[in-house]
Amino acid sequence: MKNRYALLTSTVLALALLSCTETQHSESVENTQNFHLAQATDLFAGSSVKVKQSLVDCTLSNGTKTSCISITTTPTEATHELGPWCPRNISDGADKSGIWLDGGKVHNADGQFIANLAKFYKDSKWQLFNPETGAVNVTNSKEACLAAARPDVDPKYQNHCVECLPSYVDSRKAVTYLIPVNPVPLTNSQRVHPHGGIGLAFSGVKFDAPAPVDAILGAYTLAPFDDCGGHINPHAGYHYHAVTGCATEKDSIENHAPMIGYALDGYKLYSQLNKDSKEPDDLDACRGHEFSSLGYHYHVNDPGKNQILGCFRAEQGCALEDSSQTCEVTDRRPPPPA
């Protein structure tokens, strides 16, 4: 593949270097766009993700009309096993449970953690388990998961570990992401919308906005993530709130961190740390920087932060939840809470 990129890159460069007539200019734009489309196709190859082999019209988050790459995903596909999330008994170890993110740290959401919640949160109302048997209260149906995961948690599910299973998700429900083929930089960065997303892993799993931890804890519930930083929402499918090293990695240059996906604004997402286990020291407020031939890109945040990225430096594309939606300013329905 490297040779193909090299050929495409040199074609693009050669065209760009020519003093442009109108025709040459549009040819060069077309070649750059074809390069990016071919690159996206290669990056998602081997997954169930479908990259449309022609660009589509889209209107970005600040109103710019441009061309986007259309990427269609399935809701519960990943390159790793999904789960486990909630332990069943306070004697269950980390192998039978996922993780919880709090105070900038990743905690094992194991039986001991569940048993210790009242102390951990300094609130005696926490009682997620039966003191006699040690059995953990876990949501055990789609209805329970929906009622416990909604923003105003059904009081019946207070003091439950919330777990939604892949089987609760309609497997036909695909999401189509329209990612600008060329990022359109903003003068002022845009904050990540609580109901929007961050981007897309090369397996098609969504990198999501921060999990609403305060609302979850306020209802005396815990909605753990699996060890890969993901959990399931019956509407939106499996999605990540943290990057813990499970996402498919594409090797990068020199000491640089590997590439792990696309941000919604068209810039690429890279792992947090370079190969020397250090974070780049020149990241801006949106966790982006320019580096060598990679151009501008982001490095995801520490998993304990529950915030993969906080803002975008370019206009965002769209995540279309059904085929009736288009990527227009007037058709930006908020997706269901995740």
Residues that bind Zn ion (CB under 5 A): 211, 291, 338
Q: Please name the residues in contact with 59: beta carbons below 8 A apart, sequence gap of 6 or more.
A: 65, 66, 327, 328, 329
**Nearest distance from residue 237's CB to Zn ion, in Å?**
10
The DSSP 8-state label assigned to residue 296 in this structure reads E
**Nearest distance from residue 11's CB to Zn ion, in Å?**
26
**Nearest distance from residue 260's CB to Zn ion, in Å?**
12
* Dihedral (CA of 226, 70, 181, 60) sign: negative
Q: Are strands 175-180 and 318-320 parallel, antiparallel or unpaired?
A: antiparallel
Whole-number Å distance between alpha carbons of 179 and 176: 10
- Give the residue with the Cβ less far from Zn ion, 28 or 233: 233
CA nearest to 232, candidates 301, 176, 302, 162? 162
**Nearest distance from residue 333's CB to Zn ion, in Å?**
18
Helix-helix angle 2-17:22-43, to 10 degrees: 160
**Nearest distance from residue 275's CB to Zn ion, in Å?**
11
- Give the residue with the Cβ less far from Zn ion, 131 or 151: 151
- Give the residue with the Cβ less far from Zn ion, 88 or 195: 195
- Give the residue with the Cβ less far from Zn ion, 109 or 338: 338
E-strand ranges in the chain read 50-51, 56-59, 65-73, 99-102, 105-108, 160-161, 175-180, 185-191, 197-201, 206-208, 221-222, 230-233, 237-240, 259-263, 268-270, 288-291, 295-299, 311-314, 318-320
Counting DSSP H helices and E strands in the chain, the numbers are 6, 19
**Nearest distance from residue 39's CB to Zn ion, in Å?**
17
- Give the residue with the Cβ less far from Zn ion, 111 or 229: 229
- Give the residue with the Cβ less far from Zn ion, 100 or 291: 291
**Nearest distance from residue 31's CB to Zn ion, in Å?**
26
Whole-number Å distance between alpha carbons of 66 and 317: 10
- Give the residue with the Cβ less far from Zn ion, 299 or 332: 299
